[in-house]
Amino acid sequence: MDFAPRIVAWQRQHGRHDLPWQNTRDPYRIWLSEIMLQQTQVATVIPYYDRFLQRFPDVTALAAAAQEDVMPYWAGLGYYARARNLHRCAQEIARDWNGRFPPTAEAIATLPGIGRSTAAAIAAFAYGERSPILDGNVKRVFTRHFGIAGDPAKREIEQRLWGLADAQVDAAPGLDMAAYTQGLMDLGATLCTRGKPACDRCPAADSCVARREGRQAELPTPKVRKAIPERETCMLVLRHQGAFLLQQRPEPGIWGGLWSLPEFDVTGDPDSASRALGLEPEQRFELAAFAHTFTHYRLHIKPWLVPVRAAGLREAARPERWVPADKLGSMALPAPVKKLLQGLVDAGMQDSLFDGQAR
């Protein structure tokens, strides 16, 4: 039996069948799941997926919403450009496709934030189109099964893998594309994993080059890891009458479009930074420092709690607003900022929380 039919047979018997975005041919729901699952684990995605659909049940509802209304439903998932592209994509479908998803992978791939593999997955699940996928899991499966050395992210290796992906589909007329596509995803996620692949349970083990040659740990060829740069910033937790001052982050950029805390350079001081915003500090408390790791660097954050006397602000370069503590849940906040503010609220702003005394 050829490779693809074996994957289909295995998926039908052993693959995943109970995920909330399975057993639907609605391209909107499939698209949403595919975007959310990029760089994010299934268990993390499920509650976000359900909540997002409750608020935006179809592409028309998403297109009609303001981006500011969309972002709170993504906050915490990270990689926020996905949410911005999701919204732009919905608007483009509403405007250019009369609110209906494009009917082919080629057309889907022209939409914002949708690459070739994601477009193929949507078309396979929604329309049964014979377009192969090549996401990170599938690259791992193919590099091992066919013994392909070299960084899969490099163009020449990726093109070779795409050729293999096309060949498997071409060799299997009448292939159930939805089952095959899901099977490849399941195989990479559950058996052909990064650390300890379960080769004894793999449906394609007898033809796998890496297994035959004992090269599972070598493939795919790992990237040369560079040291992650370290950066520092200070954040102002400005409080007035139970409300916190938030600023909307610019787009594009880290946390673009989300609401975060004002920042100042580590060489500055919280009093001067507060006054630069037109606010007069009453006290200042140094909170426990923490770090947050992004894809390309690690950010060390030193937060200061600063109660201020008045809520008047100078003209600001970006949108700002005072948000009462009980309204923070409705704001699109970066995960570390949400955790910081929620900790302060839960602690009732007790001084015992602070790392040090008022300064």
- Positions annotated as catalytic residues are 34
Token pair recorded at residue 8: 């289909």
- Count of C-beta atoms within a 10 Å radius of residue 218: 14
Amino acid at 214: G
Whether the CB-CB separation of 240 and 322 falls below 8 Å is answered with: yes
Per DSSP, helices labelled H in the chain are 3-14, 27-36, 42-55, 59-64, 67-70, 81-96, 105-108, 116-127, 136-145, 155-170, 177-186, 209-213, 270-276, 335-346
Q: What is the maximal distance between C-alpha atoms in the chain?
A: 76
Burial of 11 (0-12, 13-18, 19+ CB in 10 A): buried
Buried b / exposed e across 235-271, counting CB within 10 Å, b at 16+? bbbbbbeebbbbbbbeeeebbebbbbbbbbeeeebbb
> Which one-letter DSSP state was computed for residue 89?
H
Whether the CB-CB separation of 280 and 274 falls below 8 Å is answered with: yes
Report which of 182, 138, 197, 130 is spatially closest to residue 19, judged by C-alpha positions: 182
Q: Which residues pair with 299 in a beta bridge?
A: 231, 292
Name residues whose C-beta falls within 8 Å of residue 313's C-beta, 6 or more positions apart in sequence: 245, 277, 278, 279, 320
Token look-up 């007035």 returns 240
